[in-house]
Structure formats: structure tokens, C-alpha cells
Structure 1
């Protein structure tokens, strides 16, 4: 009797020990977290091809297909220059996500990869720019904000601190037709422009005006052509709104956009302005083919007025780069 009880006790202990090992193994497997930044979802359409679904100007498209885009956040609301929206890009293009809420940068900071399930979202234009949102805005046009609840359903957060380098472009790269520039250009992408400076009058101002957004003009090199001009638009709610516009010359980095026919650049912060070269002073707002910070040659004429200049092929205007002025007494005939 005692021997049977001892055997039964040993068997029960063995079964208990085996069950503990199995449970411990199961628990250890269950607690293993998924790999960081891998959400288990993949994109099945590029941002460029998604934007191509908008075929009519200023229309709103309700997306009904099971589509997923993926990209890196290139601008958030940390500096206050964006409000209730972020921008993201892949290798083919960029797009605005209109999102309700503040401090979006805590969930969707610059450099984070996002996967967006776009089924039942809306794609629409505002000022010519395509945006994704939660519905059609029948009052202001474009799309409405996506609520926080729907953000959790549609936006899957990926890995942080993903590499993001600006596309080095020229003004010619940004000069496309109204419909094509959404699909084929750099709209809502992080770009960089080289050899730019702000208009001389704007260097006396901050990035934004008191109670109003700032529209500061920048141009390339020393020419006065409007073809290379871009408007640096800054919200008066940004944390650098009152910072003084730099007077030098260098690179401008930011998110490219446009409103109608006006090409615009949105800065993420003042680090996007790297003006380490001296200002070019031989032109107007800056811009164009020249630059280098050198002055135009001058000539001193002696003798009696009037003086005569002859340029081959001259009609009613002086050739590019030629200016005639007086350093002493001037009359109404001086031009």
C-alpha cells in the first residue's frame, strides 16, 4: 500500500515537472516581441501611382480598392510650420496626410516609415496639391481631416530614424505643367536648391509676419529672372517665425509645394537654410546664371556729356547684365 502510494507520488511529480517545463517554454515563446519596426504589411502601390488616380482637376476621389502606400515622413508639426498635417514620400513622389490633432510628431516624427491603408480614404486637391484625408470637403475644397480613431485604423507605424536625403534639384526641375507636376515632379518631397539667396528687402524681416504667414522670396545666384524664383512660406505659429532672414547665400532645403502657379518651399526649421557664402550683390533679388559674389565691372568716362553707347542688336532695353548709372550729378536724361 505504501509502495503503491510512493510510486503514484513519483509519477505525479514527474507529470507536474513535465507540465511546468512545457508551460514555461510556451510562455517564453509567447512573450517574445515582434522585430522592431516591422509591422507585417507591405505597400502594393507607389505614391506616384496613387496620385495618378486623381484624373480631373480639383476633384475628390473616394478610394475603394485595398491599396497600401509606404513612405518616410519628411515633415511633421514639431516646429509649428505644419498644422494638422504631415508629409511623407517614397522614391516616386510625396503626399500630404491631413490628420486631426496636435503634436503629431510624437507619433509620426520625421524619419519614421509609415504604411497607410488608403481604402475608404479620400484623395483631393487644394490649391492644386493632392492630399489624403477622411472625407470630401464641400466647403473649402480638397479633403477633410482624418480623425484620431481612423488614424489608428489606417496608419501603421514602422521603423524610426530612416535615412532621408533631400533631392538636389534646379528650378527647371520644378517647372512642369499644372497637372503633371503632381504626378511626375517633386511635389511634397524634400528638395534642396543650391546657390540661393533671399531678396534684399526680405533680409530686414523675420520668416513670418505678425499675425500672418510670411512669403519670402528667394532666387538663385544674381539674376533677376522669375523663372528661378521660389516663395519660402512660413506660418506665423512656427517657432522660428520671428527669426531674422539671413542675408548670405547658399542652400535651401524644404518641402516643395505650390499654390496655383506659385512655387513654394516649407522649411522644417532654420537648419534648412545654410547660407555660408557671401551675398551676391550685382543683381536684384538674386538668382539666375551668375553669382559668385563678384561685382560687375565699372568704367569711368571723362569729357563732356552727353555720352553715347552702342550695342549690336539693341532695341529698347539694355542687354542682360548691363546697367548705366551716375556716381555724382545726374540729370533727367541719365538712364
Structure 2
């Protein structure tokens, strides 16, 4: 019995060594994960910024199949918590970066090899450089497909260098293509009131969240917004959104369609909203009235204005708080219903870092009447991230320069046209009930945008009527 057992052991050992030898012969090599630095010839390494400039020059997908170079960069994304999938984002520097790049890899997870801060080198031979989902991307074939999993270690070399990624301090107004695929930080922001005060939403755990949960980040400084996009596969998808304000860090990317900016985090440590003092604007919400008043307190259809000239007369105050754009008279035949002249504002082609434009009615005494109502029409052209707000103030002194310093409360009941509305149509505000306004004051239409492509939308205003019984 002892002889038979020793024989089996001996045969097993031989089989084991034979198996190992076969694996080595098939060259199933295990990648070097110690982080030893690869050695490159002079000129063999290029930068993310150089690739970005190449794409901008070509204006279309670039075939890098014959390239002998590698692109170097620092990893800024992590799929450890499931919010990224089969892709890594790199930028050209751990601090003060100037360009970023997405690399598609048919493998998950990736954080075990390419953790945040790790410097890596990506071989360009056999790849294409182009735009996918609106951002600069490296992939296989002109369709920018994912690098096959068995080839990932042929394409990606790890450096021994691991740096701390320093987020770029920026604002929503400063978002641009130059910041895409870069790790940024927004300060003095919070999640929108309707998501954490009026409701208690999670990051991406609602029944209506199909692939991603999109939540509104609100800037307390500029009152502009951007969407935080969270995968429904993220481990933290069912965590409630924090209600405070503070900082949010993440990779600036775009939505699936590539038409609007999104922010994407790696994990919950990127969201630091610890200040319990929110910056929600005060709202005066009387709701919508069943019928409008019968006595006109103020009205304007703008037909008396001069096309392409600033809106003036009839008690209007046309004020520029920031930028260079005023409300102007406008006429177009592209609308499905001819309405004559309207008031228009927008930042397209302005070059403005910030555009804030006000159109304010004359003083209306809401104490002298009962059942006051407001109606108007709005239309837009590619409003994108620009906004138009309806506001009320009882403490503005009538001096244009003092408009920004007055207290302006939001009138939320009115419908103002949205980005996905048909640009050929004018949309009714509804009959906005102002009966709960208890002091004489001013109604204002405030435009907030910039010359950046994602914030340079145009709005049109028509048929303003304030009535009472």
C-alpha cells in the first residue's frame, strides 16, 4: 500500500511540472505588477495634450495603427465602487493638468492594476483616436471599440510612480472642452432643493433610474447647475444624497449622447457636503390660478420695439449684471405661430465668461388689488445649461446698478421653456397666481449663461401680462 501511494505521488508531481511547462510554452505570461519603470527610446513617449491637439487638427478619428509611440498619463478614474465600467480616464499631470483622455478596455475590474494616481503608458500601435460620447477616446478600429482583455497588458505599461491627484478648482461656468476627462472640484455647491428637501433621492437607486441616476448639482455662487451622473451598478447607488453644501470632486465628462457636461465621481469620498447651511433661494409659490384677472396692471407684447435694438420703454429696466448681452427685440418667421416681435436674450458667440442679463417690469402695487396673476410665453434655441428665471423683489430701489444687491425671490409656479422643448414653439407659463404677494414690487426675468458652448443658449419672451380682479 505504501509503495502504491508513493507511486501516485510521484506521478502527480511529474504531471504538475508538465502542466506548468505547457503553460510557459504557450506564453501565458503574468504581467509585472511591481510597477518597475519601462524603458523607452527617445521620442517614443508622447503626451495626452499632443494627442488632443492632433485630434483637433484632423477634426476626425485618427488612425494610429502605425504609431511606434506610447502616451503617458495619470489614472484619475476607479471602478472599485462600480461607477466606471471597462474604461480608465487619464490626464497628463497629477496636478494642474491641461488634457485628459479616455481609454476603453474590455475588462473589469481595472482598479487592481491601474489605481488612481498611477502613471501608465498606453501603446498607440493598432489604436484609433477619436470622440466617443462627446469626449476624447482611445479605442480599437475607427469605431473606437474596447481593447480586448487578453491584450490589455500588451497595450498598457505601469510605472512605479503613484501620485496624489490634485483636483482642478473650477466653476460650472468655466466648464469647457479643455477640462473634459480631467479631475475637477466644485466648491460651495449642493444638491438641488427638489431632490434633497422636497424629496429624499438616492444617488441612483430610484425606480426611474435605468442606466444612470442624474442628480442636479447647484452652485451657491452662480446659481448654475450641472448633472452628477451615477451608474445604477455603483455600490453606493442607494445611498441618500447629502443635504448640505460644500465640495464635489469628479471627472468632467459628458452624457451618453455627448451633448451636455456631466460630473462622475469615483466613490463617496468625492462628495464633501458637510455645511448644513443650504443656500436655497426663497420661493414665493402661490401656485397656478384657475382664471386670470380681468383688469390689466401691466402688459407688453413688444410689438412697439425696434428689431435688433435693446428692449426699452414701457417701464422696462434692461440691465447687464455680467457679460455683454442685453435683452433685444427680435422677429423670426421660423416659429410655427407668428407672434411678431419678441424680447430675446442669449450668449451665443459672446465670448463672455459669464452672462447675467435682467429684464425687470415697472413697480406693481400688489397691495392695491386682489387676485393678481401673471402670464407670458417663452421659447428657446439650444438653451443647454443656460437658464431663465422668474423672480420678484420688494426691496429693489429702482436703481439699475442696485439690482444684484436686492433680494430676489423665485416664483416657481411658472413654466419656462426647457432645453428639450421644440424651438419653433412658444410655451405658456400658465396663469401664475400672485395673490400671496403682499407688497409692491418688481417682476424680473433673469438670464444666466456664458459664451461657452454648453451655456450659450437663447431665450425669447412674449406676451407679458399682469392682471388683477
Give TM-score, length-normalised by structure 2.
Answer: 0.51
Which residue pairs with 2:266 in the alignment?
268
Match of 2:254 in 1: 258
2:213 counterpart residue number:
214
- What residue in structure 1 maps to residue 55 of structure 2? 54
The farther-off stretch of 52-61 and 196-205 is: 52-61
List gaps (5 residues or longer) in structure 2. Answer: 1-31, 284-320, 323-365, 371-393, 412-432, 439-465
For structure 1, the 5+ residue unaligned runs are 1-32, 138-142, 290-302
Asked whether 1:84 is paired with 2:86, we answer yes
Alignment check: 8 A CA contact 2:281 2:409 kept: no
1:322 corresponds to:
408
Secondary structure in 2 matching 1:158: strand
Q: Is the 8 A contact 1:41 1:115 kept in 2?
A: no
Which is further off, 89-98 or 33-42? 33-42
Is 1:281 the counterpart of 2:368? The answer is: no
- Distance (Å, rounded) in 2 between the aligned partners of 1:263 and 1:187: 9
- Distance, in Å, in 1 between the alignment partners of 2:236 and 2:36 is 32
- 1:202 maps to 2:202: no
Shift of 1:270: 1.0
Q: 1:34–1:207: structure 2 CA closer, same or farther, 3 Å change rule?
A: closer
Return 233-242 or 39-48, whichever deviates more: 39-48
Q: More strand by proportion, 1 or 2?
A: 2
Whether the aligned pair in 1 keeps the contact of 2:282 and 2:409 (CA below 8 Å) is no
Q: Answer whether contact 1:168 1:191 (CA < 8 A) is retained.
A: yes
CA distance in 1, matches of 2:152, 2:410: 61
Q: 1:55 to 1:205 in 2, by over 3 A?
A: same
Q: 1:305 to 1:229 in 2, by over 3 A?
A: same
Q: Does 1:245 align with 2:244?
A: no
Q: Give yes or no for contact 1:58–1:126 (8 Å, CA) kept in 2.
A: no
Structure 1 Cα separation of the partners of residues 79 and 467 of structure 2: 55
Between the aligned partners of 2:436 and 2:235, the Cα distance in structure 1 is: 48
Within the candidate set 299, 311, 317, 2:398 is matched to 311
In structure 2, the CA distance between the partners of 1:112 and 1:280, relative to structure 1 (3 Å rule), is same
Correspondence for 2:231 among 235, 238, 250: 235
Are the structure 2 counterparts of residues 61 and 324 from structure 1 closer, same or farther at C-alpha, using a change threshold of 3 Å? closer
| Alpha-carbon distance between aligned partners in 2 of 1:101 and 1:58, rounded to the nearest angstrom | 29
Q: Is the 8 A contact 2:193 2:280 kept in 1?
A: no
How big is the shift at 1:55? 3.8
Q: Which residue of 1 aligns with 2:164?
A: 163
Q: Which of residues 66, 69, 90 is equivalent to 1:67? A: 69
Q: Does structure 1 conserve the Cα–Cα contact (< 8 Å) formed by 2:281 and 2:410? A: no
Offset from partner CA, 1:160-215 (integer Å, 9 cap, x none): 632211111123431x4xxxx2xxx1111111111111111222211113433111
Could you tell me whether the CA contact under 8 Å between 2:74 and 2:117 is conserved in 1?
Answer: yes
Give 1:269 deviation, angstroms: 0.8
| TM-score (normalizing by structure 1) | 0.70
Q: Number of aligned residue pairs: give it.
A: 269
In our comparison, the structure showing a higher alpha carbon Rg is 1
Which whole-Å deviations, capped at 9, do the CAs of 1:218-255 have from their partners, x for residues lacking one? 1211654xxx3211001000011111111111101000
Deviations 1:104-146 (A, max 9, x none): 1111121211011112211121232111112222xxxxx1010
Cα-to-partner distance string for 1:65-121 (whole Å, 9 max, x where unaligned):
222111111102111111111111113311111000111111112121101111221
Asked whether 1:114 is paired with 2:120, we answer: yes
